[in-house]
């Protein structure tokens, strides 16, 4: 029935039905029946009510928490062109897939900013402005992504059209390579005493070191005056420059667990720590995270810790693939949303090392995600970590991921192969099997064993 109605609409319309809406100055309600309006010498047809009904309301709406605005360089200034791993030749960027038209917002999984979409295109701010004008959108930011090799434009939807509806409209413009929602990501900290992590992962605290290894953390802001982090941070980037810093807790804990020194001994003291602030109030967006990932790659990060979880997003997936192609090891939290939760991304992307959390007895954290994407287990239940003003007990796959990032920095310093796939294979082969024999969906390959990995490198 729906197909027949669509065929009838196409037959009756004087031009192609997917030529979409008018520029802002002549924008109309997309629910109006088919009308034409001039735009740059073309007749533009407004989609009729029947198509709006088919797309239905977006899933962002009130169910999605307000996401931080993207932080982007103006116009065409390239950011994150990046040398990546200095020892690795930079391959040509993998282009994001040219997505097929979205047929219903119900196909959009996860929370997203309800009045924004992200697109990639060849060209700069001028092309983005033309596209925005044609479809009645606002250009909220544009920047060149070094990892994606294209301009990323963040468009605002000023008239209340659902995100799925706008993505379908944009499918008619051949200048756009990818069109995705601006998904929302959340930090992975669960509610939570000598730090037992060193013992459980077989890493000698007195010999632990990440000296000469560059480790980037994408997280909240950190406390630069904390005794464990003072003088440790080699570079900082603020992906939310227009938003006041209120939260420094999670970022302080993650960076401290990796590179803390002095009164608090991190897993890899001496590491060259690069810290990108991309979260406030526990949430971030795809656009913000892309800018932080670009920055980390451009600063020569060899390991990037991503202790957050969100839905699958093609742009972020492509950026992660390109980062790994440059030789950068990506470590991510598997998620704290329980056994029945959907896969957590970026941990579930191929090649990313997905880390779940265990306790002092090597028992799995009850809130941990499960799934075939889980690679490794590491201490993440009631571990001691720095917080602003001192230390505290923390729990979550976030902290397990940080411990694995620190362990990998030790391996790199000791001369282990730095290519991401080779390192992942080494860690899987030397892990201590937990749960059922072999790899399983709870513990992955098992508990990371730094001593065995050092011996087997």
Domain-embedded: residue 179:
no
**Candidate list 141, 145, 219, 284, residue with the active-site label:** 219
Range of the domain at 355: 186-456
Give CA–CA dist 163/173, Å, rounded.
16
Q: C-alpha angle with apex 36: 33 to 39, nearest 5 degrees?
A: 135
- Mean pLDDT for all residues in the chain: 81
Domain-embedded: residue 115:
no
Query: Averaged over 211-219, what is the pLDDT?
Result: 97
Give the closest residue to 113 by CA, choosing from 46, 61, 176.
61
Please say if 250 is a catalytic residue: yes
- Domain count for the chain, please give it: 2
Give the closest residue to 125 by CA, choosing from 112, 106, 144.
144
**CATH code, 334:** 3.40.50.200
Give CA–CA dist 101/308, Å, rounded.
28
Spell out the alpha helix ranges (H) of 48-90. 49-55
Please say if 291 is a catalytic residue: no
Q: How does DSSP classify residue 186?
A: E
Give the closest residue to 71 by CA, choosing from 148, 140, 163, 147.
140
**Candidate list 398, 405, 442, 445, residue with the active-site label:** 398
Name the band, by pLDDT with cuts 50, 70 and 90, for residue 262: confident
**Residues 439 and 295 both lie in one domain:** yes
**346 upstream amide cis, omega within 30 of 0:** yes
Domain-embedded: residue 148:
no
Domain-embedded: residue 62:
no
Give CA–CA dist 29/158, Å, rounded.
11
Give CA–CA dist 284/243, Å, rounded.
12
Query: Averaged over 47-52, what is the pLDDT?
Result: 35
Which is it for the CA torsion 186, 190, 194, 200, positive or negative? negative
**Candidate list 250, 284, 291, 294, residue with the active-site label:** 250
Q: Is residue 10 pLDDT above 80, yes or no?
A: no
Q: What is the pTM of this model?
A: 0.73
Domain-embedded: residue 226:
yes
Tens of pLDDT, residues 437-447: 999 999 999 99
């Amino acid at each position: 029935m729906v197909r027949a109605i669509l065929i009838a609409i196409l037959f009756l319309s004087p031009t192609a039905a997917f030529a979409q809406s008018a520029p802002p100055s002549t924008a109309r309600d997309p629910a109006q029946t088919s009308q034409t309006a001039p735009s740059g010498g073309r007749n533009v047809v407004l989609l009729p009510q029947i198509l709006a009904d088919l797309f239905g309301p977006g899933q962002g709406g009130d169910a999605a928490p307000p996401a931080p605005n993207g932080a982007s360089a103006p116009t065409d200034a390239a950011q994150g062109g990046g040398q990546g791993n200095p020892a690795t030749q930079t391959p040509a960027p993998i282009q994001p897939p040219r997505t097929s038209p979205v047929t219903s917002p119900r196909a959009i999984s996860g929370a997203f900013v309800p009045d924004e979409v992200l697109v990639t295109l060849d060209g700069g701010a001028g092309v983005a402005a033309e596209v925005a004008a044609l479809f009645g959108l606002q250009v909220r930011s544009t920047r060149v992504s070094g990892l994606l090799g294209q301009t990323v434009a963040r468009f605002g939807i000023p008239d209340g059209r659902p995100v799925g509806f706008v993505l379908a409209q944009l499918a008619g413009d051949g200048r756009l390579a990818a069109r995705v929602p601006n998904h929302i990501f959340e930090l992975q900290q669960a509610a939570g005493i000598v730090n037992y992590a060193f013992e459980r992962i077989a890493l000698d605290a007195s010999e632990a070191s990440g000296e000469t290894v560059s480790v980037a953390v994408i997280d909240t802001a950190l406390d630069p005056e904390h005794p464990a982090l003072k003088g440790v941070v080699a570079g900082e980037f603020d992906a939310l420059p227009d938003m006041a810093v209120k939260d420094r807790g999670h970022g302080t804990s993650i960076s401290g667990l990796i590179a803390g020194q002095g009164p608090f001994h991190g897993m890899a003291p001496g590491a060259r720590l690069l810290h990108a602030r991309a979260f406030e109030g526990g949430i971030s967006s795809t656009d913000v995270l892309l800018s932080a990932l670009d920055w980390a790659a451009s600063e020569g990060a060899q390991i990037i810790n991503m202790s957050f979880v969100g839905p699958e997003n093609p742009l972020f997936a492509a950026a992660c693939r390109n980062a790994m192609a440059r030789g950068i090891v990506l470590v991510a939290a598997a998620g704290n949303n329980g056994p029945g939760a959907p896969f957590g991304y970026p941990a579930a992307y191929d090649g990313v090392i997905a880390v779940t959390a265990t306790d002092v007895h090597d028992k799995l954290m009850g809130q941990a995600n499960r799934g075939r994407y889980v690679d490794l287990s590491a201490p993440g239940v009631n571990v001691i970590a720095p917080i602003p003003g001192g230390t505290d007990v923390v729990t979550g796959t976030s902290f397990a991921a940080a411990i694995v990032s620190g362990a990998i920095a030790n391996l790199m310093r000791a001369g282990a192969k730095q290519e991401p796939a080779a390192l992942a294979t080494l860690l899987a082969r030397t892990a201590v099997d937990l749960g059922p024999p072999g790899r399983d969906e709870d513990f992955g390959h098992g508990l990371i064993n730094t001593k065995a990995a050092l011996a087997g490198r």
